[in-house]
Structure 1
Amino acid sequence: MNTLVICSGGLDSVSLAHIVAAEHRLTRLVSFDYGQRHRKELDFAAAAAHRLGVPHHLIDMRTIGAALTGSALTDDIDVPDGHYAEETMRITVVPNRNAIMLAIGFGVAAANGDNAVATAVHGGDHFIYPDCRPAFTQAFDAMQRMALDGYADVRLFTPFVERTKADIVTEGARHGTPFAETWSCYKGGAVHCGRCGTCVERREAFHLADVEDPTTYADPDFWARAVAEKEER
């Protein structure tokens, strides 16, 4: 199956790229610059494409991202610290981001003769990000079959949509993903902050998967307190 991977440069999508390269036929990585404050992640996506020997398509969506206002990922709004929680992390939603990126991904796939578009959405994202939920991915897949009917047969591949980030770490490790060569932190500093929701989730996933975390965090111990506070709610 010739498969295009939507790759941000984060742990999830880079792991998926390595998994697809091992189990299918990875054709290309597609990334998006939507004006995200942590755009350094795109360097890690480019490095993954080079490492895996496939083209890297970087799509400039900055003008679109500028119109999707109100998110801490694109505007001058503080990224909240702590474990993912609906009341705090909703500010990190970029409206319709995945739907827009996937639509472009399907167009690129169809134009290049690919059979599938893979994205690393996973179960931990469901309650905050509506365009990561199984109902969305199923509906989007059906919509794209209609959009490309008679022109191309491209399917949406979401192997982790019902699984956890710890599962991604487990499978990524099994397929040799160089986790140190991935970027998750929403704050985009010199090193991972260790305090934002995605840093906490990243560190917790390594812990649950019983895989050594090679990431350098500015605050390496914060995650345990954040997880404990979430469990007390």
Structure 2
Amino acid sequence: MTDSDTTDTNATDRTDTGTNATDSTDTDTTDSTDRPTAVVLLSGGMDSATTAYEAKDRGYDLYCLHTSYGQKTESKEYDCARRLADDLGALDFLHIETDHLSAVGASSLTDDSMAVDDADMDADEIPSSYVPFRNANLLSMAVSYAEANGCDAVFVGAHSEDYAGYPDCRPEFFEAFETMVDAGTKPETDIAIEVPFVTDSKTDIARRGRELGVPFEHTWSCYRAEEPACGTCDSCAYRLQAFQNVGTRDPIPYAERPDYGES
């Protein structure tokens, strides 16, 4: 995998019907023709937000793809992703409903009959929050979006602490997916799968996000609640630990703020 400023425009909000929203504005195309473009999978969480700001810092103009797949906090995540895209000056914001992942089930993120477990940061088994093969589904849509718009890359926010719990976050998965993209797109298409933090920790992401000026107050990570965040699910625990490790208070509201200490 290879590592690689945006126009002054509001992102265009579109749904899976392909219609444009009315909040788009005229685009300032100054000096935009020579810059590379990339699709960013923008969930609204801190990892994808930092990845988007990293892509922008590397000189890419951005197309932001957000998906709702029946997760318990989908409305809050959408609001965060939409605001981040606006702040980034994204060329486009595409929102797609992927409720087939909810219909497939087998994840506490999408199945109301399954409880979201409290964090067990020493566990080795795959947690109940794993959505079967989700990243392959999301990446496939991102590559379609990228090829349709002549983009040079797709950026994903996976990182090293995801490996044990989520098999579709491992470096070998992304390398294999990039090979599939090369085989399954038009001969003239060249789309890199960029995972800038794949060997980094959540703490590294928090530190880099602070350097990039990521508005973490407009991100959301909790698996259980839309506000306040619970503070005790896996996602809250790793997020709080990262902020505690870098000596910065996480700016979003929590029902509880346990001290998770050093990773």
TM-score, structure 2 as length reference: 0.81
- Write the distance in 1 (CA, Å) between the matches of 2:58 and 2:226: 34
1:173-198, CA deviations, whole angstroms, 9 ceiling, x for partnerless residues? 11100111100000023211111010
Structure 1 residue 87, shift from structure 2 partner = 6.1
- Write the distance in 1 (CA, Å) between the matches of 2:63 and 2:52: 9
On the 8 A contact 2:124/2:164 being kept in 1, the answer is no
Show the counterpart of 1:67.
Answer: 103
Structure 1 residue 85, shift from structure 2 partner = 4.8
Show the counterpart of 2:207.
Answer: 170
On the 8 A contact 1:170/1:211 being kept in 2, the answer is no
Question: Percent sequence identity over matched residues?
Answer: 34
- Write the distance in 2 (CA, Å) between the matches of 1:215 and 1:206: 11
Structure 2, gaps ≥5 residues long: 1-35
Q: Which has the larger radius of gyration?
A: 2
Structure 1 residue 220, shift from structure 2 partner = 1.1
Show the counterpart of 2:256.
Answer: 219
1:187-221, CA deviations, whole angstroms, 9 ceiling, x for partnerless residues? 02321111101001000011222333212210112
- Write the distance in 1 (CA, Å) between the matches of 2:125 and 2:225: 19
Off by >3 Å, runs of 4+ in structure 1: 83-89
- Write the distance in 2 (CA, Å) between the matches of 1:35 and 1:135: 28
- Write the distance in 2 (CA, Å) between the matches of 1:87 and 1:74: 22
Structure 1 residue 50, shift from structure 2 partner = 1.1
- Write the distance in 2 (CA, Å) between the matches of 1:189 and 1:27: 27
On the 8 A contact 1:80/1:89 being kept in 2, the answer is no
Residue 120 of structure 1, aligned match among 157, 163, 172: 157
Higher share in helix: 1
- Write the distance in 1 (CA, Å) between the matches of 2:127 and 2:188: 38
The aligned amino acid for 2:250 is D
1:29-73, CA deviations, whole angstroms, 9 ceiling, x for partnerless residues? 1011111111021110011111111121001111x1233211100
1:60-107, CA deviations, whole angstroms, 9 ceiling, x for partnerless residues? 111x12332111000011101124454676210100100110011001
1:9 matched to 2:44? The reply is yes
On the 8 A contact 1:117/1:157 being kept in 2, the answer is yes
Give the secondary-structure state (helix, strand or coil) at the position aligned to 2:87. Answer: helix
1:138 matched to 2:175? The reply is yes
Show the counterpart of 2:89.
Answer: 53
C-alpha RMSD of matched pairs (Å): 1.7
Show the counterpart of 2:6.
Answer: none
TM-score, structure 1 as length reference: 0.91
1:110 matched to 2:147? The reply is yes
Number of positions where the alignment pairs a residue of Structure 1 with one of Structure 2:
225
